[in-house]
Structure 1
Amino acid sequence: MIGRGGVGRSDALHLRVGLCLAAGVALAATAAPVRAQNPGAESLVRVDSIAARGNVRLAEQAVTGVAGIQPGTLNSGYDIQRAIKNLWATGQYEDIAVSVDGSSGRNVLIIEVVERPVTRLVRITGLESVSEDDVIEEAGLRENAPLSPNAVTKAEAYIREELRRNGVPFALIERKEEPVPGEEGRVDVVLEVDEGQRVTIAQVTFTGNEYFTDDELRGAMNTRQEGFLWFRTGGYNDIDFELDLLESLPRRYAQEGYLDFQVVGDTLVVDPATGKARLDISVDEGRQYRLSDFEVEGASAFETEQLEGYFTEESGGILSALGFGGDDSESEAGRVFDAVAFDEAAQRVRELYRNEGYLYAQLEPYWERTGDEVAGHPTIRAGWRIQEQTQAYVNRVIIAGNDFTFDRIIRDKVFLLPGDVYSEARLLQSYQNIQSLGFFESPMPAPDIRPDEETGDVDIIFNVQEKQTGSLSFGTAVGGGVGLSGFLGWDQPNLFGQAKILNLRWDFGRYINSATVSFTDPALFQTTTSGSVSLFNSTDRFFQFATGRRRRMGFTTRFGVPFPGSLRTRVFVGYSLSRTSYEAFRSADDTSLFGLPPGLLSSVSVGITRQTLNHPLFPTSGSMQTWNVELNGGPLGGAGDFVKQTVQAQWMIPVGQLDGEGTTPGSVQFAMGLYVRGGALFGDASRFPFESFWMGGVQFGQPLRGYDETSITPRGYYPERGGGIRQIERLGNAYFSTTAEFKTVISSNIGISAFFDAGNNWEGPGHLNTSRLFRGAGFGVQLVTPFGPIGLDYAYGFDKAEPGWQLHFKMGPNF
């Protein structure tokens, strides 16, 4: 690297000190007459005038004014130092010298400066792996401003750091300051970057390893050698490699009892012509330790056997050394001591104590070498020393920051009450419940836990920040079997700050004209009873069934109460009354759906729901189970005479996350999900065919991705527009479907998933056969936009006449 021009930061500091001392000596030499007249002002000198020299582009007043010394004033050496600092702070100068000229009988303070050149433009050449704009912004390089050597140095350091992170550790940077022809005092700053070859790990080799093979050790590292597949790039990052040496490899060996393992050497051999590299790692495995004894000390709140169970694995675990599980030969020799599992078990026991109110409990894991051997292996003695302390109780639960939402709305979501034993698990559930309301800015601050020093009890403070909840929405929607339509609506999920929901919506288009008004109160008269009512008037045409249209007008109402003894389970009772009429078009050949007489449908529903999901659209943990029964006709009147049962269940299990800890909102989270759905209709619903079940696609009826809309029928697979089947024969009176999903939640508005669907539709409950299911698999992305949720799925249908991929798009409220 070549550097030219300017004074470095450290040189400038030395220069300023030297100049200040020189100025002090000069002032002292001319100040003798003043000291004689005023003995109390030994270090002061009168400055009669100030002059600037060496300034070219800056006016003299710009130099002397910044210095801050006024003519005709008495000044000390400290005043001169302060003046020099003021001048340096402007960033305008490469050099500053101060002297006093008293030859004329007047003390003239002379400030000699060397101005820094002005940067006309900044250019970075040869940089491919890092954004030039990012470099300039990060370093603070500015055009048409005095050249800052520090900023240029910072830019060079930033380039090297980012290239190193991208696997380019040996870049060369040459700094040039090129004078602008015809413009004195102006330069172009040029950084010429030669990135060199990107280092690619072609091979990772180990020496000294006997227990693990090279492949097994490579699998334990984040640094991987390049492979055949596109994602095996072999990129080198020295930070990741350092962590591999300090953490990844020792952790892997610790799982197998090698407590004395160490990396004794590492070498990176790079071919400068190609960038291909070989990593040679030398290790000393040490000896493998076995467990001779495990003991839990100081536990009284829990049974010792219960705590020991946290230290047991499926294969018999580490406690097999004590004779529990495993085969006899392993019991005799003693089980391998897994230090990683030992620490993880200790952490789970700490959580157990905190969930039972032992907030101040301390658990100290320990292990020590015994000096004995079992079957040629050294042994260790391990255990936990526990100091339980006293249980902490909840003193107060405080809600702060809710300027609009009523306290009771938030407190209904809190599972900890004053007087309860403190529980970290219930605290986390409460935090997630409050956040899932959607009334507050996300992510919420972590709960503030304030212990009382005298009693040990705690105050819990939930801090929230209100956000705008009501929204006017308009746009287009695709879904529900009505094709493309427009919608206009107003939604307020927190009406009057009491979580009451008011929804007004009008959908319109070629195939639909529907108006709906609904109101939901989660706490009628401030009780635990919820209630809702909905009025609707709709005219529908389905693009799958272009032979007619349907008109429905009526209302539904529903009430819910908590299930006794459960905070997450509610029982619902509802009633609906609607009139349905059909109109078959004159050109229609198939009137099986719309050639029906009008009818009145009167029904009572009873259902139960348990819900612990942590987010309404993108859950990553919890579960939901719903069972609902509708009784239609009979003593209720109307033209229907059937019973309809539906069941739905969902389970989500978190499997990891990035950029956060625990359940930190805003982090990228990964989860596995399982969905099960089913339904059965008993009786005669021929007058109301749309009460039966349809399957296929994502827009109408029961979803099954990889297949056309309504293509899964009791008679088998029939393409959406295919012939050979009447429209009414596409419906069934029983269905079952299931979905397994791996989900990545990037934020509260974006989710990506890989899924496997399976399902079928049968003529009746007696024909249900879960061994014959249509299968589909693929990938999907889900977005929440100002116009509503959007879903895009690309799935492969395995069991249709011609297996292949199918694209599914869905937009609107029925996401």
Structure 2
Amino acid sequence: MMDHDGVRAGLDTKKLVAAGLTGLRLSLMATTGVLVFSSVTSVAAQTYRFQTFEVQGNTRIETSSVLATLGVTPGQAIEAGQLNDGFQRLQASGLFETVEIVPQGSKLLVIVNEYPTINRISIEGNDRLNDDDLLTVVGSQVRRVYSPRQAEQDAAALSEAYASSGRLSATVQPKIIRRSDNRVDLVFEVAEGRVTEVERLSFVGNRAFSDRRLRRVLETKQAGIFRALVSADTFVADRVALDAQLLRDFYLSRGYADIQVLSATPELSPSRDAYYLTFRVQEGQQFRFGTVTAVSTLPEIDTDKYQSEVRVSPGDIFNPQTIERQIQRLELLATQQGLTFVRVVPQVRRNDADLTLDVDFVIEKGERQFVERIDIEGNATTLDRVIRREFDTVEGDPFNPREIRAAAERIRALGYFSQADVTAREGSGPDQVIVDVDVEEQPTGSLGFGANYSVQNGVGVSVNFSETNFLGRGQTLNVGVDTSSDSGSTRVSFIEPYFLNRDLALSFSAYYSENTDDAFTFDTKSVGFRTGLDFPAGEYSRLGVFYGISQDELDARPGTALSPILLADQGKSITSFVGYTYNFNTIGQGLDPTRGVRLRFGQQFAGVGGDEEFVKTTFLASAQRTVRNDEITLNATLEGGVISTLNDDASRQSNRFFNGPSIIRGFESGGIGPRDLNFSNDSLGGNYFVAARFEAQFPLGFIPDEYGITAATFLDVGSVWGLDDTSLSGPIPVDDDFYLNSAVGVGFLWDTAIGPLRFNFTRAINKRDYDQEQTFDLTIQTRF
């Protein structure tokens, strides 16, 4: 501290009296936070009157600002208490490291030591979280005044960031390093500590579903021997409330109308490195739908028409989502009939004796309100129209709260936003409503580098770029390159999901591929282009139409002899085609999320120019459901295809069907079907194929579900057969008859942090001598 006349902080009061000094000095040391008064009682009551002022030590802060904060007026009488109040205001301003006030007769000397400016900010000791992520929560800024209070708040924010990642024992200490010119380096020293994991995840009160099944519902996972591969096993307090809601939704969707999640209790272990999380539930009974009716007192409502639109049958398991879907259906019918402000209100009656719930859908007049406007905020990249098109409501339409909620769900389902809140508030009048949309964007593009492996094709690499919100327009762009030792392909695709501002998806795609597999005596190359339109045909269905053109080339390798059937295919051929596809899918989105069906039918008509003329028809029917309290997933699929050539032409190898894992497992690609045994056992493909696949997936009892490891057993049966002309074959005739191949197997599915893996072990049951069996297959798709 500088040497000035007056009373010094820290001097003994007896020395002050002995010196006969009548002045008063107040000193604050901000680094210690201790204010020291040095005076006697008689001095404390003294009144001062200052005519002049002098401020020392200020370089950035104006003298007028210092005096204004002090609040002393020239010539005005001021008591020591008031002078102390001004002193307190100066030190509370956060601008000065030390403040000293020295009365010198009619002159007041104010000595300040300004806080330094921040030269740089760094974080040391962090390993699990990088600097870029941590610095986003730091409020201190380079070239701004250093504030100890802000530095402490920053340290608390950094500690909270570590707590959110599961490291509750992490500590952060702010420190400064003095530099020249009153500058400092602000350093946050981090001791990360260990991850605080969820060591045990248990449930109390559950009878209908096991702990294992309920754990699969939650976002939080239980730690175990593979904890390094599971990021969700760290404890995050904010995730507990979400888990409780997920648990409640799970029970409600399965008919447990009285479900209550009574508590979710996390207990920290004494070592502070693990949590024991317990959910206490009260399940109640499972209810089913009883009588379901549509009623109304409005004369313009024909209840019979509305009753016919109800898609709930007595005995169905009660599900709130089913009720919501029926309300949407009935309100849509009212809109189609030109009725406005009609609301459907469900009234539920309990029948505890037979555990059913009767539902009356009451159709009534709602409040007359209109949408004044839709305000969108937070979208820096995404265009407003991309968000607006998810609303079926526009400005001036009747306000329908249910439709607004449905639009909010569609906006969240886009995947463009980490957060999307849609709220309604009163507009310019009581009959006007303003809809506010507040979104927070998230990255929608990805650059993936992959590695894949299969027993037949060996090791391959892939590079893929994907952007699902291209230029903020909601468009999808994909570019990919895949290579292996015997094949390679390049593809690019583009989708405009709202062509002409309608629910009409316009798509373009192009590809190039080649195959030089030594298993064949020939090489193939293909290049093609395809464009199409896709639009909804129903609640769960879509219809698509397309046009495509491709050039396919087949060349015999030097020194090899092709099968006479393939000789006709040698060289280049152009195929120009149009077609359509119909898809119907309720798996995971129908009235019962535990079961569903998927249907696909398509036809391709070649002959719109080009060299080939044929009709290719394919179909698929699949059904899925869960049993044993959703522990086991059953799936059955029937698939087939037919190529019908025109004008007595023979089908070409590039257009015929070949076996692959998508047809039946247990055999190599092209390992079943017609084959010319006279010429290197070449696979010829067939004009027909049919396959039936049955699979059951189930958890492994000795491995926790949170590690993403499940098992599967499967049975595949199928056949590839039929050629147009086999008369050109050699001494051994080509067998193109129908033969039902079959194989059984077990599989292990592992959803790892580096990508999904599947191990299949198969054994052929029915096979011909020349069919090529594949007893093991490993598929890996890694993205990093």
Normalised to the residue count of structure 1, the TM-score between the two structures is: 0.51
In the alignment, structure 2 segments of 5+ residues that lack a partner are: 1-26, 445-449, 587-592, 626-632, 698-707, 724-735, 765-772
Kindly report the root-mean-square deviation, in angstroms, between the aligned alpha carbons of the 2 structures.
8.5
After TM superposition, give the deviation of residue 691 of structure 1 in Å: 1.8
Indicate yes or no: 2:147 matched with 1:159: no
After TM superposition, give the deviation of residue 804 of structure 1 in Å: 1.9
Q: Residue 148 of structure 2 aligns with which residue?
A: 148
* 8 A contact 1:759–1:775 mirrored in 2: no
* 8 A contact 1:681–1:764 mirrored in 2: no
Rate the CA distance shift 1:114–1:593 in 2: closer, same or farther, 3 A. Answer: same
After TM superposition, give the deviation of residue 587 of structure 1 in Å: 0.8
Indicate yes or no: 2:498 matched with 1:543: no
Q: Residue type of the partner of 1:678?
A: G
After TM superposition, give the deviation of residue 228 of structure 1 in Å: 7.0
Q: Residue 54 of structure 2 aligns with which residue?
A: 50
Rate the CA distance shift 1:311–1:81 in 2: closer, same or farther, 3 A. Answer: farther
Correspondence for 1:388 among 350, 353, 364: 364
After TM superposition, give the deviation of residue 628 of structure 1 in Å: 0.7
Give the Cα separation in 2 of the matches to 1:261 and 1:522: 40
Q: Residue type of the partner of 1:155?
A: A
* 8 A contact 1:706–1:807 mirrored in 2: no
SS in 1 for 2:670: coil
Correspondence for 1:627 among 593, 602, 605: 602
Return 440-449 or 672-681, whichever deviates more: 440-449
Indicate yes or no: 2:634 matched with 1:679: no
Correspondence for 1:610 among 579, 582, 585: 582
User: Which structure 2 residues correspond to residues 56-67 of structure 1 after superposition, within 5 A?
Assistant: 59-62=57-60, 65=63, 67=65
1:701-743 superposed Cα distances (whole Å, 9 cap, x missing partner): x67778654334457xx9xxx999622445553244769899x
After TM superposition, give the deviation of residue 692 of structure 1 in Å: 1.0
After TM superposition, give the deviation of residue 239 of structure 1 in Å: 6.2
SS in 2 for 1:627: strand
SS in 2 for 1:695: coil
Rate the CA distance shift 1:73–1:352 in 2: closer, same or farther, 3 A. Answer: same
Give the Cα separation in 2 of the matches to 1:804 and 1:186: 64
Q: Residue type of the partner of 1:772?
A: S
1:209-229 superposed Cα distances (whole Å, 9 cap, x missing partner): 7x9599769958969997877
Give the Cα separation in 2 of the matches to 1:526 and 1:692: 39
Rate the CA distance shift 1:608–1:408 in 2: closer, same or farther, 3 A. Answer: farther
After TM superposition, give the deviation of residue 771 of structure 1 in Å: 8.1
Indicate yes or no: 2:637 matched with 1:647: no
User: Which structure 2 residues correspond to residues 727-766 of structure 1 after superposition, within 5 A?
Assistant: 727-731=682-686, 733-736=688-691, 760-764=718-722
1:145-164 superposed Cα distances (whole Å, 9 cap, x missing partner): 85715533663575378449
After TM superposition, give the deviation of residue 675 of structure 1 in Å: 7.8
Q: Residue 653 of structure 2 aligns with which residue?
A: 689
Rate the CA distance shift 1:755–1:128 in 2: closer, same or farther, 3 A. Answer: same
1:315-373 superposed Cα distances (whole Å, 9 cap, x missing partner): 6x6xxxxxxxxxxxxxxxxxxxxxxx6x66765565456545576748487899x9xx9
After TM superposition, give the deviation of residue 289 of structure 1 in Å: 13
SS in 1 for 2:760: strand
User: Which structure 2 residues correspond to residues 76-87 of structure 1 after superposition, within 5 A?
Assistant: none
SS in 2 for 1:690: helix
Give the Cα separation in 2 of the matches to 1:349 and 1:582: 55
Q: Residue 333 of structure 1 aligns with which residue?
A: none
Give the Cα separation in 2 of the matches to 1:118 and 1:535: 55
Rate the CA distance shift 1:84–1:753 in 2: closer, same or farther, 3 A. Answer: same
Give the Cα separation in 1 of the matches to 2:155 and 2:740: 64
Q: Residue type of the partner of 2:643?
A: L
SS in 2 for 1:772: strand
1:388-431 superposed Cα distances (whole Å, 9 cap, x missing partner): 325989999999999x9999999999977999998889889999
Give the Cα separation in 1 of the matches to 2:580 and 2:173: 72
After TM superposition, give the deviation of residue 610 of structure 1 in Å: 3.5
After TM superposition, give the deviation of residue 482 of structure 1 in Å: 14
Q: Residue 110 of structure 2 aligns with which residue?
A: 110
Give the Cα separation in 2 of the matches to 1:234 and 1:509: 36
* 8 A contact 1:504–1:518 mirrored in 2: yes
Give the Cα separation in 2 of the matches to 1:116 and 1:349: 66
After TM superposition, give the deviation of residue 511 of structure 1 in Å: 9.5
Q: Residue 314 of structure 1 aligns with which residue?
A: 316
* 8 A contact 2:717–2:741 mirrored in 1: no
Q: Residue type of the partner of 1:29?
A: T
Q: Residue 748 of structure 1 aligns with which residue?
A: none
Correspondence for 1:726 among 681, 685, 693: 681
Q: Residue type of the partner of 1:763?
A: W
SS in 1 for 2:365: coil
* 8 A contact 1:257–1:288 mirrored in 2: yes
* 8 A contact 1:135–1:159 mirrored in 2: no
SS in 2 for 1:587: coil
Rate the CA distance shift 1:152–1:770 in 2: closer, same or farther, 3 A. Answer: farther
1:78-99 superposed Cα distances (whole Å, 9 cap, x missing partner): 9997896566445542x53545
Correspondence for 2:742 among 772, 776, 783: 772
After TM superposition, give the deviation of residue 110 of structure 1 in Å: 2.3
Q: Residue type of the partner of 2:67?
A: I
Ranked by relative contact order (alpha carbons within 8 Å, sequence separation 6 or more), the top structure is: 2
Rate the CA distance shift 1:9–1:98 in 2: closer, same or farther, 3 A. Answer: closer
After TM superposition, give the deviation of residue 565 of structure 1 in Å: 10
SS in 1 for 2:47: helix
User: Which structure 2 residues correspond to residues 260-339 of structure 1 after superposition, within 5 A?
Assistant: 272=270, 299-300=296-297, 314=316
Rate the CA distance shift 1:780–1:761 in 2: closer, same or farther, 3 A. Answer: farther
Give the Cα separation in 1 of the matches to 2:545 and 2:328: 36
Indicate yes or no: 2:101 matched with 1:101: no
Percentage of identical aligned residues:
12
- Count of matched residue positions in the alignment of Structure 1 and Structure 2: 677
Normalised to the residue count of structure 2, the TM-score between the two structures is: 0.53
Q: Residue 69 of structure 1 aligns with which residue?
A: 67
Rate the CA distance shift 1:691–1:778 in 2: closer, same or farther, 3 A. Answer: farther
User: Which structure 2 residues correspond to residues 219-298 of structure 1 after superposition, within 5 A?
Assistant: 219=214, 230=226, 272=270
* 8 A contact 1:627–1:645 mirrored in 2: yes
In the alignment, structure 1 segments of 5+ residues that lack a partner are: 1-5, 32-44, 53-58, 318-340, 470-474, 615-619, 654-670, 743-751, 784-789
